[in-house]
Chains A and B, each alone.
Chain A
Amino acid sequence: MTRASVVGVGMTKFGTHDITLAELFAEAALPALDDAGVGRGDVDALYFGNTLGGMTENDTHLAPKVATHTGFGRIPAQRFEDACATSTNAFKHAVQAVENGIHDVVLVGGVEKCTPVTGIDTPEMTRIFVSAADRQYEQPTGITFPGVFALMTKRHMEQYGTTEEQLAEIAVKNHAHGTHNPRAHFGKDTSIEAVLDSPLVVDPFHLMDCCPFSDGGSAAVVVSDEYADSFDAPVDVTGLGHGTDLVPVSDKADPLATQAARDAAERAYDQAGITAGEVDFCEVHDCFTGAEVLATEALGFVEDGEGGPAAAAGRTALGGDIPVNPSGGLKAKGHPIGATGTAQIVELTEQLRDEAGDRQVESPSVGLAHNLGGDTGSAFVTTMEERA
């Protein structure tokens, strides 16, 4: 069932941008409006995501600020924060708003700056990133954000035999996809050897197993099902599931299950009336190579424990059974936290319009986006389909 439609998308190149958050967001939002062919007067509300601005730049109350900067100063504007799942939560609320007749046209998007243009060095940014982990019962142990996923991945390696080489295959695959994406932070190929020879960040993750600190913005124009017919190239949102799991990790019943993602996927598949087997490609939250293993298992594309071997066999590459992260994913495209969720929506939209150039999946009908927040405590799964 169609819950809402995306009729316009825009995003900046992900990488380094030494401009303000509002300026960066405008570089995604205004092209999204142009893509949809809507004017400022047509937009009823702004649903906006940013995660770190309060900590990194002493910049909060950002929704009215970016609304003003982009010329929307008087429409209702709200900001969301759910760690790395920030802008998919904004998107969820935009979908619900048009689905329920509250608004006809909503601009949704996110922006983030994480690179040294913030004036923040790696140890301090590492401290800021781990703010998403439990403040009292995890942060004092010295855990880092990559460390949370490293714990899950090390356990996966022990339990299922996943290898460092299989993890490296995922980095190599996503870098290869990223070479076809002009907006990717990393547009260069890498190799198994280069990944395994890169410095350890947190065992088993080498630097090249990790997504980069990125700056960037992304945006989409969301309209109701009925309203969508008056646009040139609507892409339908057929399912959008939201799951939550316990924080801290130690209270989760099975950390390897990423249960929030399984719950979100079940809800999305149920709304869309599809199974995992009907998905033609997906964008998943590969903040670290191990996270992509957990994602492909949670979404039902492979059996539990098979995520590593499936990647190594090429099943998740462009041209494989289920292409995963044709955009290059967080690993190669980049991960400006609050912009990541809607950037996945941008990729789904362009792929389903057959506008993805050299990274185009062959004639896809159904795309899926999987966006995690924090230690997998938040998860959103979105299914989108070309309009019949």
Chain B
Amino acid sequence: MSVETYLEDGELTHRAWSAALREDVLLGERCADCDHVTAAPKAACARCGSQDTAVIELQTEGTVYAETTVFVAPAAFSDAEPYGVALIDIGDARIMAHIDGDAAVGDAVAFRGTVEQDDSPAPLFGPADD
């Protein structure tokens, strides 16, 4: 399926990004002017302000930039066992994701699907060699 089928009036809204994510398609935007790639779509490039951004499909494998294990969780996650959250470099983009399993800085990880909180999905990543 092409990226365009998810867009709303040609725009990558949060609803469109979420719909794609739930079908295991990780979408982002690349700035035509400064090349910044974001995994969190916006009305303009966050780095340079350009509105000339293109919707792209992001890589699904990457490297852990930073990770942590959450022991004291917010209400929606407080029944869960301690869990990981990481910032992951996927190609030219960086994304925050929920972690399935163990992942340390520098580890290779891969996109595995989603977790849901209050009807909002978040990307789920896990060790690449699982």
Interface residues of chain A, those whose CB is within 8 Å of chain B, are 122-124, 126-127, 130, 134, 136-144, 146-147, 150-152, 154-155, 158, 199-204, 246, 248-251, 253, 255
Q: How large is the interface on B (under 10, 10 to 19, 20 to 34, 35 or more residues)?
A: 35 or more
Docked-complex contact A202 and B71, CB < 8 angstroms: yes
Contact mask B73-100 → A, CB, 8 Å, 1/0? Answer: 1111110100101110000011111100
Q: Give Cα distance in the complex from A163 to B110, angstroms.
A: 29
Residues on B with C-beta less than 8 A from A248 are 40, 96
- Tell me which of B68, B73, B106 has the highest count of chain A C-beta atoms within 10 A of its own C-beta: B68
The 8 tightest CB contacts between A and B, nearest first, are A140-B122, A137-B40, A155-B66, A123-B78, A127-B74, A150-B68, A141-B122, A140-B120
A250 near B72 (CB under 8 angstroms)? no
Tell me which of A152, A201, A204 contacts B72 (CB under 8 A): A201
Cβ–Cβ contact A136 & B75, under 8 A: no
- Cross-interface CB contact of A142 among B40, B65, B85, B121, cutoff 8 Å: B85
Say yes or no: B40 contacts A143, CB within 8 Å.
no
Q: How far does the alpha carbon of A201 sit from the alpha carbon of B73 in the complex, in Å?
A: 9
> Which residues of B have CB within 8 Å of A127?
74-76
* B51: A residues at CB distance < 8 A: none
If over half of A's interface residues share one DSSP class (helix, strand or loop), that class is named, otherwise mixed; here it is helix
The answer to whether B39 touches A144 (Cβ under 8 A) is no
A123 to B75, CA, bound (A): 4
29 residue pairs bridging A and B, Cβ less than 8 Å apart: A123-B78, A126-B73, A126-B78, A136-B17, A136-B120, A137-B40, A139-B117, A139-B120, A140-B116, A140-B117, A141-B85, A141-B115, A142-B76, A142-B122, A151-B66, A151-B85, A151-B87, A154-B66, A154-B67, A158-B105, A199-B71, A202-B68, A202-B70, A202-B71, A203-B69, A246-B47, A250-B94, A251-B38, A251-B94
Nearest-CB distance from B87 to chain A (Å)?
Answer: 6
Q: Which residue in A130, A151, A246 is a CB contact (below 8 Å) of B67?
A: A151
**In the complex, are the beta carbons of A249 and B87 less than 8 A apart?**
yes
Is B71 a contact partner of A201 (Cβ separation < 8 A)? yes
Docked Cα-Cα span, A158 to B96, in Å, equals 18
A16 CB → nearest B CB, Å:
19
B118 at the interface (CB under 8 A from A): yes
Distance between Cα atoms of A246 and B95 in the complex (Å): 14
In the complex with contacts A138-B96, A143-B96, A248-B96, A122-B38 CB distance below 8 A: no
Residue numbers in B under 8 Å from A134 (CB-CB) = 40
> With A203-B68, A203-B71 as given contacts, are A251 and B47 in contact (CB-CB < 8 Å)?
yes
Judge whether A142 and B94 touch: CB under 8 Å: no
With A251-B38, A251-B47 in contact, do A123 and B96 touch (Cβ < 8 Å)? no
Query: Complex: how many Å from CA A158 to CA B75?
Result: 30
How distant is the Cα of A9 from the Cα of B47 in the complex, in angstroms? 40
Which residues of the partner chain B approach A202 to less than 8 Å between Cβ atoms? Answer: 68-72
Considering only CB atoms, which chain A residue lies closest to B114 in the complex?
A: A140
**A146 to B115, alpha carbons, bound, how many Å?**
20
Closest beta carbon of chain A to B125's beta carbon, Å = 10
A contact residues around B105 at 8 Å (CB): 154-155, 158
Bound form: Cα–Cα A377–B10 in Å: 29
Which residues of the other chain, A, contact B87 by a CB distance below 8 angstroms? 151, 155, 249-250, 255
A144 touches B69 (CB 8 A): no
Contacts of B14 in A (CB 8 A): 136
CA distance A134 to B78 in the complex (A): 19
B54 at the interface (CB under 8 A from A): no
Q: How many angstroms from the CA of A292 to the CA of B87 in the assembled complex?
A: 21
Kindly state whether residue B46 has any CB partner on chain A within 8 Å: yes
Q: Considering the chains assembled together, what is the distance between the CA atoms of A221 and B106 in angstroms?
A: 50
A55 to B39, CA, bound (A): 29
Chain A residues near B17: list those with CB within 8 A. Answer: 136
Q: Are A122 and B72 in contact (CB under 8 A)?
A: yes
Q: Are A151 and B68 in contact (CB under 8 A)?
A: yes
A253–B86 alpha-carbon span in the complex (Å)? 16
Contact of B71 among A137, A155, A158, A200 (CB under 8 A): A200
Indicate if the CB atoms of A140 and B66 lie closer than 8 Å: no
Bound-state Cα–Cα, A138 to B67, Å:
14
Report B-chain residues with C-beta under 8 Å of the C-beta of A253: 47
Give the interface centre of B14, B72, B85, B94 by most chain A CB atoms within 10 Å: B72
Contacts of B77 in A (CB 8 A): 142
Contact yes or no, A250 B96, CB < 8 A: yes
Output the least CB separation between A114 and chain B (Å): 14
- Are A141 and B68 in contact (CB-based, < 8 A)? no
Q: A140-B122, A246-B47, A250-B39 are in contact. Are A154 and B68 (CB under 8 A)?
A: yes
CB distance from B21 to the nearest CB of A (A): 10
Do B75 and A124 touch across chains, with their CB atoms under 8 A apart?
yes
State A141–B74 Cα separation when bound (angstroms).
11
Give the chain B neighbours of A141 by CB distance below 8 A: 85, 96-98, 115, 122-123
